[in-house]
Amino acid sequence: MNSTIEQLKARFDKAFIDAFGSEMAGTDPVLVPATNPKFGDYQANAAMSLAKKLGKPPRALAEQLVKHLDIADICEPPQIAGPGFINLTLKTAYLETQLMAIQADERLGVAPAKTPKRQVVDFSSPNIAKEMHVGHLRSTIIGDSIARILEFRGHDVLRLNHVGDWGTQFGMLIAYLREVYPDALTTANALDLGDLVSFYKQAKKRFDEDEAFQETARKEVVKLQAGDEDSRRAWQLLCEQSRREFQVIYDLLDIKLIERGESFYNPFLPAVVEDLEKAGLLVEDQGAKCVFLEGFTNKEGQPLPLIVQKSDGGYNYATTDLAALRYRIQQDGAKRLIYVTDMGQSTHFAQVFEVAKRAGWIPEDVEVVHVPFGLVLGEDGKKLKTRSGETVRLRDLLDEAIARARADLEARIKEEGRFETEEFINSVAKTIGLSAVKYADLSQNRNSNYIFSYDKMLDLKGNTAPYLLYAYVRVQGIGRKGDIDFEKIAGKAKIILQEESEMVLAKHLLQLSEVIAQVEADLLPNRLCQYLYELSDKFNKFYEQCPVLKAEEPQRTSRLILCDLTARTLKLGLSLLGINVLERM
Ligand code: ARG
């Protein structure tokens, strides 16, 4: 099924050819949703941009175009306004048939991609033995949603966790491990280091205070890199410990990832440097091998090189990313590489991509994109911290959201004089708490910082997860009250749109596929959130204005179908944000 905008575009394409000749095929009609419902549903603004090219006043062009535009089955007669806007209003009969079609479609009118591609989404990617912080939480939530949307469109998505599991800090950690748990390597298979982050801090303290220890740590790095068995085992132990801690968060948030950490690319690092050398891109600067690119400078305006091999022969973060990029293109066969990290890494990725491009590693048909995001701020507008000024542990943050959702829920249950089982309360509080955190993050344009507020994200009113979940619950409530089997009523009945609020809701329901196509292109999940928020809002207005169960037939069934379509759209849309719906709350 083609979206309305796609159908209109095809009609315009034909009109361009018929009105101005075949060389005009493929002209963009500049079709956008109308800014004001007064002017209809869509407007085509092409006449303005074509005026110069065709040497005619835009209004005359618009008239000529409209004369050849065959859209009577979709729209009312087009209206030309102002300098040459073409305003389009969808016909009620068209809306009714379209709704019937999406209602019979499991995908609600969202067609699978015509040319599915293999795409890598590199997200989450915390660092071993270090805190998984709120920045990683953002990456996890945004990356997962992007992956879900691409998967739903039928792409073959590789969800990669590029964990920081390599680097000189492991020398220090292993040396410290040998010191405090001398028999850890020979006896324990499930060593519990307790809190790995404080273990890291202790090791770091030891490292900073003792020169002899620093030397031991350096030797450990060399041994680890040389593949010494004991050192590898110690490294493994540390990784496993971290992995277990990360997994708790992933399980809680229902996140699936394939771990392919930095260490995976070790064997490919020398070739990266060699090939850059061969391509004539390397410059030696104080013993380090670098690539200088014009346009990249540091704060002082000095050229900012991308260092690929340090003077001691070691490789770094950028070298690994170059190797990973090549591997994903050449071995994985990916056509789109998506990297979800905080904005602070924008320069890093811009440099990595540019170097790879110059080295000829990015074929024409491959797209590489950095998907940056802003900071998570506390309610004081500063970086999110606990009351005592510590970094917030993710586990605590999620638990707190669940606890608060539970308190709200219990208060509501009491107020309404309901009785609910402990099991119900637990599961609903968990869903609401976690969805609230995910949605608060996703609903913001990721390019800006956002303020983390439990009160705001858990509010039943406003652009929040509970508000959307509630709209879904409302439909289920109607179903229970009227003893309706939504699956059965569909199919045999007709949709009839009469009231203004029905029309508004109907038009919105039909826009899902346009929204998904947009998110697929610009990777901004907040567009989907906004769409679902407006859907809930329009549904609530419809429900206030139009009786459903009490309506006469054939309205009753028609409205029940609108309710059902709203619920199904919410369920699908929320699932693409990684959020589960509730039948009751
Ligand atoms: N481990 C990095 C960090 O915590 C993020 C890695 C992102 N992915 C990548 N391919 N560089 O900042």
Kindly report, residue by residue over 422-433, the tens digit of the pLDDT: 999 999 999 999
Contacting residues for 513 by C-beta, under 8 A, at least 6 apart: 1, 3, 108, 109, 110, 111
Q: Is the CB of 316 under 6 A from ligand 1?
A: no
Give the global pTM.
Answer: 0.94
Task: For residue 278, report the distance from its CA to the centre of ligand 1, in Å.
Answer: 28
Q: Does residue 164 line the site of ligand 1, with CB under 6 A?
A: yes
| 430 Cα–ligand 1 center, Å | 29
Q: What is the token pair recorded at 35?
A: 């800014």
Q: Which helix or strand (DSSP H or E) is residue 356 part of?
A: helix 346-358
Ligand 1 pocket member 305 (CB < 6 A): no
Check pLDDT > 70 for residue 511: yes
> 30 in helix, strand or coil?
coil
Beta bridge partners of 87: 43, 79
Task: For the chain, count helices (H), then strands (E).
Answer: 21, 14
Residue to mutate, 131, 264, 345, 355, ligand 1, most ligand atoms under 8 Å from C-beta: 345
- Whole-number Å distance, alpha carbon 390 to ligand 1 midpoint, is 22
Q: For ligand 1, is residue 341 a contact (CB within 6 Å)?
A: yes
Q: What is the best residue among 125, 159, 337 to mutate for testing ligand 1's pocket, by most ligand atoms within 8 Å of CB?
A: 125
pLDDT tens per residue across span 536-553? 999 999 999 999 999 999
Q: How far are the Cα atoms of 136, 409, 579 from residue 126, in angstroms, in the given order?
A: 6, 33, 22
Instruction: For residue 5, give the nearest of 516, 566, 550, 562 by alpha carbon.
Output: 516
Which helix (H) or strand (E) segment holds residue 343: the answer is: none
Residue nearest (by alpha carbon) to ligand 1 atom 7: 125
39-61: pLDDT as tens digits = 899 999 999 988 888 889 999 99
Q: What CA–CA distance (Å, rounded) separates 8 from 42?
A: 10
Cα(318) to centroid(ligand 1), Å:
10
Note the pLDDT tens digit of each residue in 376-389.
Answer: 999 899 989 888 88
Ligand 1 pocket member 235 (CB < 6 A)? no
- Under a CB-based contact definition with an 8 Å cutoff, are residues 291 and 129 in contact? no
Largest CA distance in the chain: 87
Q: From CA 193, how far away is CA 207, in angstroms rounded? A: 18
Contact 162 CB / ligand 1 (< 6 Å): yes
What is the whole-number distance in angstroms between the Cα of residue 153 and the centre of ligand 1? Answer: 26
Tens of pLDDT, residues 256-291? 999 999 999 999 999 999 999 999 999 999 999 999
Residues 2 and 110: their CA atoms lie apart, in Å, by: 8
Pocket test of ligand 1: the residue of 341, 346, 351, 394 to mutate, having most ligand atoms within 8 Å of its CB, is 341
The dihedral built from the CA positions of residue 243, 249, 254 and 260, taken in this order, carries a sign that is negative
pLDDT digit string (tens) for 213-257? 999 999 999 999 889 998 999 999 899 889 988 999 999 999 999
- pLDDT band per the 50, 70, 90 thresholds, residue 193: low
165 within ligand 1 shell (Cβ under 6 A): no
In three-state secondary structure terms, 78 is coil
| pLDDT at residue 170, rounded to an integer | 93
Instruction: Average the pLDDT over 283-312 and give the result.
Output: 92
Ligand 1 pocket, residue 161 CB under 6 Å: no
Give the containing element (helix H, strand E) for 530: helix 526-545
Nearest Cα residue to 444 out of 383, 381, 373: 373
pLDDT of 184: 75
Tell me what percent of the residues of the chain surpass a pLDDT of 90. 82
CB of 452 closer than 6 A to ligand 1?
A: no
In one letter, which amino acid is 72? A
**Phi and psi for 414 in degrees, rounded to 5?**
-65, -50
Q: Which atom of ligand 1 lies closest to the CA of 163?
A: 1
For a mutational test of ligand 1's pocket, the pick from 158, 159, 160, 162, i.e. the residue with the most ligand atoms closer than 8 A to its C-beta, is 162
Angle between helices 526-545 and 555-576 (to 10 degrees): 160
Amino acid at 572: L
Residue 188 clears pLDDT 80, i.e. is over it? no
Yes or no: say if 176 and 162 are a contact pair by the CB < 8 Å rule.
Answer: no
- Pairwise CA distance, residues 405 & 430, whole Å: 8
Q: How far is the CA of 164 from the centre of ligand 1 (A)?
A: 7
